[in-house]
Amino acid sequence: MSILANIDLIDSHCHLDFDNLTPDLDAVMARAAGAGVRACIIPAIDLGTARQSLALCERYPGVYAAAGVHPNSTADFGPQHVESLDELLATGKYVAVGEIGLDYHWNDSPREMQLRALEHQLELAARHNLPVIIHNREASDDVLAVLEAWAAILTGDLKALPGVLHSFSGSPVIATRALAAGFYLGFTGPLTYRKADQLRAIAAAAPLDRILVETDSPFLTPEPHRGQRNEPSYVRLVAERLAAVRGASLADVAAATTANAVRLFTLPS
């Protein structure tokens, strides 16, 4: 029996459908369960992965899916994407819209197309009353400007639970703005990296009821496994480091972040 049998964790962002996880996915999921991971959320990067992830939701208990078009997949984004996403979200099988956002690191899609896709998908999220999973790479000011404007016009439950800035890597100012707009902050493997002092300071200062833990598997593997393939069981390492920087117990951090994910994504409690 796992020494963490009484610890419940949720990996709120992992790409279980990616090729470098699928060959031994049964073993990956068994290790996750042994580490106390009781649920995982699979974000989509395009329409194809949004559809494919539903098969994994049926195959594994506690696996949930989001639907959205990643900014690096938006070069040809158009009305057909909006229509298809609208149809998928109307099925009620998805817990969020994502991952969506802006990525100015790569040049896979023009910035104006990324912005257009983000705005359309935020409109869909509001229409279907679903939180958003936000990808942000080197685009913090533009991302926050769009999110703040969107959050300001939300009503009902979504106003209090608009979404999460996945794998947060922004400045303290960006964290403050995101929290003020109602968003959660998701922390991944970089929280454990030697030079990530600013990130740890943000994680220590953020309200515990607004934090999620993630792996972003198969990417961003935490120490001491950095350089290897990431997987959901390693979310425990993120939670342990989060507990350490906050001077809290792993049990308390696990309970809080799990409750946060349940609340944000309307998961079974």
- What pLDDT digit, counting tens, does each position of 32-54 carry? 999 999 999 999 999 999 999 99
**CA gap 248, 172 in Å, rounded:** 21
Task: Give residue 78's pLDDT.
Answer: 97
Taking residue 180's Cβ as centre, other Cβ atoms within 10 Å add up to: 11
Task: Give residue 205's pLDDT.
Answer: 98
Task: Give residue 6's pLDDT.
Answer: 77
**CA gap 221, 232 in Å, rounded:** 10
DSSP 234-246: GHHHHHHHHHHHH
Task: Give residue 2's pLDDT.
Answer: 42
pTM: 0.96
Specify whether the CB–CB gap between 58 and 257 falls below 8 A: no
**CA gap 230, 260 in Å, rounded:** 23
Task: Give residue 252's pLDDT.
Answer: 97
Task: Give residue 4's pLDDT.
Answer: 47
Single-letter code of the amino acid located at 131: P
Task: Give residue 1's pLDDT.
Answer: 32
Domain boundaries in the chain? 9-265
Work out whether the CA dihedral 241, 242, 245, 249 comes out positive or negative: negative
Parts of the chain with a pLDDT under 50? 1-4
Does the domain at 9-265 match CATH 3.20.20.140? Answer given as yes
Question: In sequence order, what are the residues at sequence separation of 6 or more whose Cβ sits closer than 8 angstroms to the Cβ of residue 104?
Answer: 111, 137, 138, 139, 142
Alpha helices (H) in 71-221, listed in sequence order: 79-89, 111-128, 140-152, 157-160, 172-180, 197-205
